[in-house]
Structure 1
């Protein structure tokens, strides 16, 4: 036990030298692990938000593409109908527009318009014709620049609301963004979108930028451009119409023309976008490259999972620091206990050695008294007294021999073979004694009892049995009997015949008392004619019954 505590305290010695190191280290390590887990959790949350933003961008991009394709198809269909008619009026254009715009996919547009291509010299006649159709105050504006050869004023509107009528007569070829898109549409003969522009119908009031999609219309005879169909869009309204069909929860959705820059922003739906988890997706709007940006909602600080992680981690770190402090305190107490145990073990060691020495001296004194008494009172006419003295001396010597074995093992387990060899040492000559059996350890008291029993059997054999003549032998065999006992067999061979009629001696009674009464085990002694046989059972006790004493003895020796 002392050695175990000494080893334990030895491994914890640095706790005592630095009592605060372990609690602080435990707290710091636990908090670092908590922070790492919280950081990992936040990264996972951000990754999930980014994946959700990517999925939302795909959905919105697909919906926007469908909406633009619907409007370009609308423009193409209108262009095909207009190619067959040269006498289009405002009323007929309104009917044509209403017939083609019944699909929900056309939502988000400011209707459809027709801008006829004219020359500066045709302006007065063109204005008069429009006023004759009931469009009072129709005026081509702005005035054509010097050297202008072509004008494309807004001629008809598919749905001429008061707000949209502000576009009547506006020369779309006069503005650079519109003119560039018209020239490209004429060259490529397909619908083309403009860049960010300010719609003429929003003149004089704050509004988001817009854009138009132009579809050119050509004269079949000359191949020259007759004019353009235009679909004006307020970019903010258009993007909102897309989002209404494909809800994206709290994500911010923005549409940029070409590059993601503040001056190229067309529309934005949702809260102000942040860069964390932002997803950019290129889209084509009528063959003009634009960028759709989807941003997840900005997290207000840490996520709930991270907050809970930090709270629980702080609690665990505190508990670990407390436990570490208790361990350090226990180490100090163990060292104090070790010092006390060392002192007690030293005292026990001294007392044990002194007691063993005195027992040996006492046994030696008893033997001396017996020898002195026998010398002074030797009477040839009294053999019984001499026999008693010899028997008593032999038994005391047997106890002394076994006692020596117990001292050598510090009163721990004693080998069964050693006990038998010690008792038969005076009689072992050549092959007179045969021992056979496994290694078995006996408790101290059981070793003493076995020693006395073997001594009595050996004394009897040396007087009357196999040890009294040449050529005879004694065979002692032992084996485990179950899990908690050992069976020892004594058998004499080739010795003098054993008489059938004999008196029961003190030695037999001593063996029976020791084995049957004190140990509580079975004992069988047979005086067969060919030799004495003895079978005895000895208990194999749990080391816990005497291990403490042995450990203390070992610790005392080490200390």
Structure 2
């Protein structure tokens, strides 16, 4: 099995790793890489995820809308086909009945009102075939026989009108409407109307006579409409009778059986069901322009999709046009998809932003822990170094004190005083977090245990100078030894004695301290060298790296000590962060 190691930076590493540890470390490395990307690009990655999901959502909505439009077009196409089929079916039905009527009327010598009424009654036109004005009979006569025609017809229909237009405006043949069913006041307007007098009707009748088939006319205004403008059309079927004993022809045109249609009603009856969407429905005669428009129906605003279907009514080509309305807005499924996509993208973006913030905080926390660990290591090393230095100083002091002590009590008192001097300076350094310590504070701390009351006069004078921690310890020991000697043998041992301690800056990196005693007992020229002298001239001079001038003058001891003034960067373990900044 391998051993997994997490580095100080929080990144996974492996040492003597087996397969399982390698796989786990790889997964951790990938996870760390992903978190690092979130930290490096806290806005770009969430925005990219949002845009990617938004693009997928847009493509989904586009696909749904495209499919919906195709489905709608298919529905409209099917709907248009159903209308076209219904129109042709109705046209074919009426053509069939006109054929049957033509066959019946061709077999008799004269179409009487009774015969016509019986034929129409059998058709049950009012019940089965909506959309047509009815069925009529047109008798073809010569222009000179119009008077005899009117007399014969008025014998059965006393209120039959005159032929119109007048015979003087008629052509070679007159074809007035003789009968029309159902018999209504509106349909009576068509009686007596000469169909050959109107070119469109005449053209359709001539085509029917030529082909002997039901033939629809072009766009006309029905005679029933009077002054109305509602367009329509008519279907004509010729009726021929045999001519016995005729050397030139075997049959003659007796007339036409026809059916007229109001185009609007004819189209409305073909529209059996509601449209699938908003549509525009138009029916044209042969060409799709306004001159040939038969009828227009709209169930909504005109749209962009246009369908044209040919419709054949009694051998005449009509055009059915369907305009599907432009449906505004999205389909319900598209709206649901869009809302879901936007919600999901927003949620993921929010989650990624939170993860990015958490990753950034974790990285800052790891960096903080790394720095704290480095500081802790530095503090441990510094503390170990300072403890060793302090213990070395204590051992040296003990060794030298033991050599100079006259007895156990003297040894204990001397050692205690010197340890107190170290302790006093340590207290000062602790109070400043082992930063710089004012030189005045070191002097006052060492003198406070020796000088009390008004037994002597002290003069402390000098500029503000800050000492490094180790320099302050060594300087404090020197001041302690000088003060102890002055208290025992010098100016501090008698009333009226004075100790003057003055310091000045020799340069930016060196301070000069002068200890001067006066007013005390005379200093003997012949004296025994003590521990204090050795401590100041050897240990203190060595620690401060400058020679100490110690002069035992008759009027009092004079000592000059040079103390280094160091820059903070020369002894501090780490920079103190500025206010408002983190570690």
Question: CA 1:130 to 1:322, structure 2 compared with 1: closer, same or farther past 3 Å?
Answer: same
Cα distance in 2 between the residues matched to 1:156 and 1:339: 109
Report whether the alignment pairs 1:141 with 2:164: yes
Q: Helix, strand or coil for the counterpart of 1:53?
A: helix
Q: Helix, strand or coil for the counterpart of 2:172?
A: coil
Cα distance in 2 between the residues matched to 1:263 and 1:237: 19
Aligned to 1:79: 102
Give the conservation status (yes or no) of the 8 Å contact 2:221–2:228.
no
Report whether the alignment pairs 1:219 with 2:241: yes
Question: CA 1:251 to 1:287, structure 2 compared with 1: closer, same or farther past 3 Å?
Answer: farther
Cα distance in 2 between the residues matched to 1:193 and 1:353: 116
Cα distance in 1 between the residues matched to 2:370 and 2:182: 107
Q: Helix, strand or coil for the counterpart of 2:221?
A: coil
Cα distance in 1 between the residues matched to 2:56 and 2:290: 41
Q: State the 1:18 CA deviation.
A: 4.5
Aligned to 2:264: 236
| Superimposed CA distance per residue, residues 52-74 of structure 1 (whole angstroms, 9 cap, x where no aligned partner) | 22332333333333222211111
Question: CA 1:102 to 1:151, structure 2 compared with 1: closer, same or farther past 3 Å?
Answer: closer
Give the conservation status (yes or no) of the 8 Å contact 1:23–1:320.
yes
Aligned to 1:382: none
The runs of 5 or more residues in structure 1 that have no matched partner are 355-559
Q: State the 1:127 CA deviation.
A: 2.8
Cα distance in 2 between the residues matched to 1:330 and 1:15: 9
Report whether the alignment pairs 1:39 with 2:62: yes
Q: Which of the pair has more CA radius of gyration?
A: 2
Question: CA 1:92 to 1:219, structure 2 compared with 1: closer, same or farther past 3 Å?
Answer: closer
Structure 1 ranges of 4+ moved more than 6 A: 347-354
Report whether the alignment pairs 1:333 with 2:333: no
Q: Helix, strand or coil for the counterpart of 2:108?
A: coil
Aligned to 2:183: 160
Question: CA 1:10 to 1:66, structure 2 compared with 1: closer, same or farther past 3 Å?
Answer: closer
| Superimposed CA distance per residue, residues 404-431 of structure 1 (whole angstroms, 9 cap, x where no aligned partner) | xxxxxxxxxxxxxxxxxxxxxxxxxxxx
Q: Helix, strand or coil for the counterpart of 2:295?
A: strand
Give the conservation status (yes or no) of the 8 Å contact 1:217–1:225.
yes
Cα distance in 2 between the residues matched to 1:230 and 1:95: 16
Q: Compute the RMSD of aligned alpha carbons.
A: 3.3
Cα distance in 2 between the residues matched to 1:52 and 1:174: 45
Cα distance in 1 between the residues matched to 2:150 and 2:301: 47
TM-score, L = length of structure 1: 0.56
Give the conservation status (yes or no) of the 8 Å contact 1:170–1:200.
yes
Aligned to 1:395: none
Aligned to 1:97: 120
Aligned to 1:265: 293
Q: Helix, strand or coil for the counterpart of 1:204?
A: coil
Q: State the 1:200 CA deviation.
A: 1.1
The runs of 5 or more residues in structure 2 that have no matched partner are 1-5, 13-27, 244-248, 383-583
Aligned to 1:378: none
Aligned to 1:306: 334
Cα distance in 1 between the residues matched to 2:158 and 2:381: 133
Cα distance in 2 between the residues matched to 1:227 and 1:204: 27
Give the conservation status (yes or no) of the 8 Å contact 1:250–1:270.
no
Aligned to 1:369: none
Q: State the 1:80 CA deviation.
A: 0.7
Aligned to 1:360: none
Report whether the alignment pairs 1:66 with 2:94: no
Question: CA 1:7 to 1:88, structure 2 compared with 1: closer, same or farther past 3 Å?
Answer: closer
| Worse overlay, 68-77 or 320-329 | 320-329
| Worse overlay, 336-345 or 300-309 | 336-345
Q: State the 1:212 CA deviation.
A: 0.7
Cα distance in 2 between the residues matched to 1:151 and 1:49: 52
Cα distance in 1 between the residues matched to 2:124 and 2:381: 116
Q: How many residues align?
A: 352
Greater RCO (CA < 8 Å, at least 6 residues apart): 1
Cα distance in 2 between the residues matched to 1:51 and 1:296: 11
TM-score, L = length of structure 2: 0.54
Cα distance in 1 between the residues matched to 2:176 and 2:329: 54
